Chain A
Amino acid sequence: MAKVIFDADLCKGCGLCVDACPKGILQIAKDKINKKGHSPAEMTDESKCIGCAFCATMCPDCVITVER
């Protein structure tokens, strides 16, 4: 069971993590907006996460912390 923590206010909604996720469980939030005015990335189904940290590796803004 892995845990992915997003520092949503740092996110710029570029979506690089969404494409990097091998399980396809990340998305850009449709109904949220952060301090900077971007729609941040979020996880749809935490139970499917394998903790590979691909999302965090691709993230240019160090938004993501991965625990496993």
Chain B
Amino acid sequence: MAVVFQKPKALTDAPLHYCPGCTHGIIHRLVAEAIDELGIEGKTVGVAPVGCSVMAYDYFACDMVEAAHGRAPAVATGLKRALPENIIFTYQGDGDLASIGMAETVHAATRNENITVIFVNNAIYGMTGGQMAPTSLPGQVTQTSPYGRDTATVGFPIRVSEMLSTLDGPEFIQRVAVNNVKNINAAKKAIKKAFQNQVEGKGFSLVEVVSTCPTNWGLTPQKALEWVEEKMIPYYPLGVYKDRSANKEEK
């Protein structure tokens, strides 16, 4: 008998601290599988964010750096410029990347820094207890929007992939989800491509992963996956938003 599925080597044996059913674990695994498959663990440096995944440095077996809140793309820029032979990735949530770290994200993208950004969008601040995030859906009930997000006073959610794809800088931007096996397989391909792009020196690659937060959404893990399908994906359509080298090949 051959092993057809096992824990990737780029993950450590530390048990994940995430809540039961939180899809952070799946995304960690997909990143680790990409690192394993490309054989780049020895030269990969990850940048952990602030948020639920703040302890990502315990889980990835490669070198990790902890960035100040939202500054992961800036730290990754420095790392990549100082260590151009290494593979640098950031792993950030929506509070980190789309709120406090928006400036760093947009400028790293527009400079086309040769880094890989994994952006986990679950439409809420998880670690701090479920406050409204820039990505919370209109009408979504959170701790700080108990009557539902009112777009008249707090504005509309930010669609990061669409917004960054209007820039000329970035190489590759795709939005994926991890709510079922089919989407997970697509997400794996996208994340691997984002790392492959960096290995080939193509430039800024961002994969937005639509994720869940069963605890703060107040749903069971199963219902949370359904909520992704019914509410999140219609607002955050999946797909490739930018792939410069693919477009070049077509021309």
Contact = CB atoms under 8 A, between A and B. Distances in A.
Nearest to A5: B6
Given A14-B221, A54-B181, A62 B4 contact: no
A20 B180 CA distance: 8
A53 B5 contact: yes
A53 B11 contact: no
Contacts of A3: 1
Given A57-B184, A67-B2, A62 B20 contact: no
Given A60-B21, A60-B22, A65 B16 contact: no
Q: How large is the interface on B (under 10, 10 to 19, 20 to 34, 35 or more residues)?
A: 20 to 34
Contact of A15 (B1, B23, B222): B222
B26 interface: yes
A10 to B, nearest CB: 6
A28 B95 CA distance: 33
B222 A19 contact: yes
A66 to B, nearest CB: 4
Given A13-B20, A16-B21, A16-B221, A64 B5 contact: yes
B3 A65 contact: yes
Given A3-B1, A12-B20, A14-B221, A61 B25 contact: yes
B234 interface: no
Contacts of A60: 16, 18, 21-26, 29
A53 B181 CA distance: 10
Contacts of A53: 4-5
B15 interface: yes
Contacts of B20: 12-14, 38
Given A53-B4, A60-B18, A67-B4, 15 more contacts: A3-B1, A12-B20, A13-B20, A14-B20, A19-B225, A53-B5, A54-B181, A57-B5, A57-B185, A58-B26, A59-B25, A60-B24, A60-B25, A62-B29, A67-B3
Interface of B: 1-8, 11, 15-16, 18-26, 29, 180-181, 184-185, 214, 220-222, 225
Interface of A: 1-3, 10, 12-16, 19-20, 36, 38, 51, 53-54, 56-62, 64-68
